[in-house]
């Protein structure tokens, strides 16, 4: 069916929907069919149409079925409602819907028994109860066999079992299940099954950290683009989000990724990829700037300083959360309690107005926090990536290969080119300390492997960011002296002295001066 034909078909009966003579069973079944098709394939909106969404139509069908004791209508409405809940990544009511399905299912009909077991399998897998989920799979497969269902209907049950296996981190078994099914399929079902097998292969490589992951991910995404199946991995949206997040990071089918993320309302993976379409991105490293829905946010000629300071405070706070009392004390130290609260409320209102939405900053139980599912902060991303490339022992040998790329991609010091505030000192110092430590460890590893010039470039990059970094200057001077480049060592020390004077610092550390002391007089005459 085409979208235009569906629209014409619905338009032709709109007036009949208000007819009091229409039998409840007829209206209920029509609403079930309309809700199923409109929700999955052909969104329908018309001014004056009594059902604002496919879900509203299904809920009305459920109400009619319950009110008129039409269990077939209610069952159909509940089944398609739970499908739409999964599609929009909303599992809050799923257990209630499935329980009601089980209550009204007629055990005389194997098809209904299979549907209920199918729904329970998805529910139990999400709850982590895989023993129960596998029992559910056995029940729906047996019921499907007893009903002698055609392959097109059994296929849906096989896809559910496939997703249970994926949720249980058994991608090989999941792929084998569907591979055995392929010879019995054709058309769209065959293509969708092949996509599922490709998804399992990609996930296997992801979980095993295999070298072929990127290639397998690309093949999966290209096949998904060609078939256009937005309901892929319906029961395991978090796994789909993992794949889409990685695809975005690699530049694989970005338009398809964005479309699926929006249509399925997917949450960002736990890894919080930078390329994910975050509603708000907050950059505090290398300067303060904001991105709203992927576009730079123009703060205007006179940006609301205090309102933006609230955002700055949250961006550098642990878990991006800060008590209102602390925010008020930090940003309005000269005001008493009531005045500070009023000023904070006004600034918060201005901030939400500037951002154009109220759900990016959450206020609850005396605390403010950035909504973690909607806001990405570069500082938190830097911290997470730094943790992933280093080890707890602090040795240079403990660095992962990606460490150097992370170091070179560092945007710059916290709130660069902005007036420093006392409440940001600790965070700024931690960033400085972490960057310097990372640079030293990379440099030491490069020196150990004989890559002296590369090590020197790392040290110089660290000094570009933090010119007064004593430990880096010390490493640079020692490297020079190890090659008997005395003149170069003295030049490096002189640059360090100038950096300290420029920063208003005290005299150079005695241990650093001691390295070049014997050569200073000779090379500074």
399 and 470 part of one domain: yes
Angstrom distance (rounded) from CA 286 to CA 213: 33
Per-residue pLDDT band at 397 (split at 50, 70, 90): very low
74 burial level (CB within 10 Å; 0-12, 13-18, 19+): buried
Angstrom distance (rounded) from CA 267 to CA 270: 9
442 burial level (CB within 10 Å; 0-12, 13-18, 19+): buried
384 and 493 part of one domain: yes
Pair 420, 288: CB distance under 8 Å: no
434-443 tens-digit pLDDT: 999 999 999 9
DSSP string, 219-234: HHHHHHHHHT-TTTTT
400 and 509 part of one domain: yes
Confidence (pTM): 0.86
Residue at 130 is within a domain: no
Angstrom distance (rounded) from CA 432 to CA 197: 46
The residue-averaged pLDDT of 34-55 equals 90
258 and 290 part of one domain: no
Return the pLDDT at 399: 76
388 and 512 part of one domain: yes
385 and 424 part of one domain: yes
pLDDT at residue 360 tops 60: yes
Per-residue pLDDT band at 525 (split at 50, 70, 90): very low
Could you tell me the two tokens for 355? 């951002």
208 and 321 part of one domain: no
Strands 289-292 and 321-323 turn out to be: unpaired
Residue at 126 is within a domain: no
395 and 424 part of one domain: yes
Give residue 343's domain range: 280-377
The 3 state secondary structure assigned to 413-434 is CECCCCCCCHHHHHHHHHHHHH
230 and 253 part of one domain: yes
Phi and psi, residue 292, nearest 5°: -115, 120
Domain count for the chain: 4
pLDDT at residue 343 tops 60: yes
pLDDT at residue 394 tops 60: no
223 and 289 part of one domain: no
Residue at 133 is within a domain: no
Rg for the chain (alpha carbons), in Å? 31
Tell me how far the alpha carbon of residue 34 is from its chain's centroid. 33
Q: Which residues pair with 414 in a beta bridge?
A: 285
The residue among 377, 405, 426 that closes a domain is 377
Give Cβ neighbours of residue 183 (< 8 Å, ≥ 6 apart).
none
Q: Please tell me which residue, 401 or 409, carries the higher pLDDT value.
A: 409
Angstrom distance (rounded) from CA 382 to CA 385: 5
The residue-averaged pLDDT of 8-27 equals 89
264 and 399 part of one domain: no
Return the pLDDT at 348: 96
Could you tell me the two tokens for 346? 């006004």
Pair 376, 276: CB distance under 8 Å: yes
Residue found under tokens 């940003």: 331
Return the pLDDT at 402: 87
Residue at 422 is within a domain: yes
Give Cβ neighbours of residue 55 (< 8 Å, ≥ 6 apart).
35, 39, 81, 84
Return the pLDDT at 515: 84
Q: Please tell me which residue, 291 or 19, carries the higher pLDDT value.
A: 291
Return the pLDDT at 47: 83
Residue at 195 is within a domain: yes
Query: What's the mean pLDDT when you consider all of the chain?
Result: 92
Give Cβ neighbours of residue 366 (< 8 Å, ≥ 6 apart).
323, 324, 325
6 burial level (CB within 10 Å; 0-12, 13-18, 19+): middle
Return the pLDDT at 1: 61
| Lowest-confidence region among 131-140, 192-201, 395-404, 513-522 | 395-404
Residue found under tokens 């990536």: 385
Per-residue pLDDT band at 523 (split at 50, 70, 90): low
Residue at 86 is within a domain: yes
Pair 370, 358: CB distance under 8 Å: no
CA dihedral 354, 359, 363, 368 (to 10 degrees): -60
Return the pLDDT at 282: 98
Per-residue pLDDT band at 153 (split at 50, 70, 90): confident
Could you tell me the two tokens for 131? 């023993």
The residue among 342, 377, 412 that closes a domain is 377
Residue at 443 is within a domain: yes
pLDDT at residue 301 tops 90: no
Pair 322, 282: CB distance under 8 Å: no
Residue at 142 is within a domain: no
Return the pLDDT at 223: 97
Q: Which residues pair with 290 in a beta bridge?
A: 282
* Residue 270, CA distances (Å) to 77, 205, 276, 372, 381 in order: 34, 18, 12, 10, 11
The 3 state secondary structure assigned to 306-320 is HHHHHHHHHHHCHHH
Angstrom distance (rounded) from CA 65 to CA 72: 7
80-133 tens-digit pLDDT: 999 999 999 999 999 999 999 999 998 888 889 999 999 999 999 999 999 999
- What CATH number has the domain bearing residue 427? 1.25.40.10
> Within 107-150, where are the H helices?
110-126, 130-146
Enumerate helices (H) and strands (E) in the chain, giving the number of each: 23, 7
443-480 tens-digit pLDDT: 999 998 889 899 999 999 999 999 889 999 899 888 88
Pair 157, 141: CB distance under 8 Å: yes
Return the pLDDT at 396: 46
492 and 421 part of one domain: yes
The residue-averaged pLDDT of 142-159 equals 88
The residue among 234, 261, 276 that closes a domain is 276
- What CATH number has the domain bearing residue 329? 1.10.10.10
Nearest to 157, CA basis, from 182, 132, 181, 140: 140
306-332 tens-digit pLDDT: 999 999 999 999 999 999 999 999 999
Tell me how far the alpha carbon of residue 411 is from its chain's centroid. 21
């Amino acid at each position: 069916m085409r979208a235009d034909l569906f629209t014409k078909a619905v338009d032709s009966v709109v007036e009949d929907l208000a007819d009091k003579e229409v039998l409840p069973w007829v209206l209920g079944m029509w609403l079930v069919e309309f809700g199923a098709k409109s929700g999955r394939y052909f969104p329908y909106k018309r001014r004056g149409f009594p059902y604002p969404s496919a879900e509203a139509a299904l809920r009305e069908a459920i109400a009619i079925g319950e009110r008129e004791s039409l269990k077939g209508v209610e069952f159909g409405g509940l089944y398609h409602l739970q499908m739409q809940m999964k599609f929009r990544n909303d599992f809050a009511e799923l257990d209630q819907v499935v329980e009601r399905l089980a209550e009204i299912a007629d055990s005389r009909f194997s098809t209904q028994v299979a549907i209920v077991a199918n729904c329970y399998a998805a529910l139990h897998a999400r709850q982590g109860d895989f023993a129960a989920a596998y029992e559910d799979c056995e029940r729906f497969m047996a019921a499907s066999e007893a009903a002698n269902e055609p392959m097109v209907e059994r296929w849906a049950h096989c896809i559910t079992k496939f997703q249970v296996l994926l949720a249980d981190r058994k991608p090989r078994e999941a792929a084998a299940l569907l591979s055995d099914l392929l010879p019995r399929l054709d058309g769209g079902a065959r293509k969708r099954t092949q996509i599922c097998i490709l998804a399992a292969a990609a996930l296997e490589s992801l979980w095993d950290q295999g070298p072929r992951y990127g290639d397998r991910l690309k093949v999966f995404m290209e096949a998904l683009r060609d078939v256009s199946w937005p309901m892929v991995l319906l029961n395991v949206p978090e796994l789909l989000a993992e794949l889409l997040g990685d695809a975005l990071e690699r530049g694989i089918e970005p338009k398809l990724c964005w479309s699926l993320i929006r249509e399925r309302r997917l949450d960002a993976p736990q890894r919080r990829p930078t390329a994910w379409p975050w509603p708000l991105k907050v950059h505090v490293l290398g300067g303060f700037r904001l991105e709203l829905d992927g576009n730079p946010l123009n703060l205007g000629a006179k940006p609301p300083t205090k309102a933006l300071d609230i955002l700055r405070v949250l961006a550098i706070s642990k878990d991006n959360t800060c008590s209102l009392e602390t925010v008020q004390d930090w940003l309005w130290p000269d005001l008493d309690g009531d005045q500070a609260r009023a000023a904070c409320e006004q600034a918060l209102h201005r901030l939400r107005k500037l951002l154009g939405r109220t759900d990016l900053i959450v206020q609850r139980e005396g605390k403010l926090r950035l909504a973690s599912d909607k806001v990405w902060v570069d500082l938190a991303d830097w911290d997470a990536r730094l943790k992933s490339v280093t080890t707890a022992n602090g040795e240079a040998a403990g660095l992962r290969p990606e460490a150097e790329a992370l170091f070179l991609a560092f945007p710059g010091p916290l709130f660069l080119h902005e007036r420093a505030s006392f409440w940001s000192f600790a965070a700024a110092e931690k960033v400085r300390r972490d960057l310097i430590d990372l640079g030293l460890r990379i440099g030491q590893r490069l020196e150990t492997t004989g890559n002296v010039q590369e090590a020197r470039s790392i040290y110089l990059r660290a000094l570009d960011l933090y010119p007064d970094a004593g430990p880096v200057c010390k490493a640079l001077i020692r490297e020079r002296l190890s090659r008997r480049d005395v003149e170069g060592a003295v030049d490096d020390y002189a640059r360090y002295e100038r950096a300290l004077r420029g920063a208003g610092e005290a005299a150079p550390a005695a241990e650093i001066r001691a390295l070049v002391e014997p050569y200073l007089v000779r090379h500074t005459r």
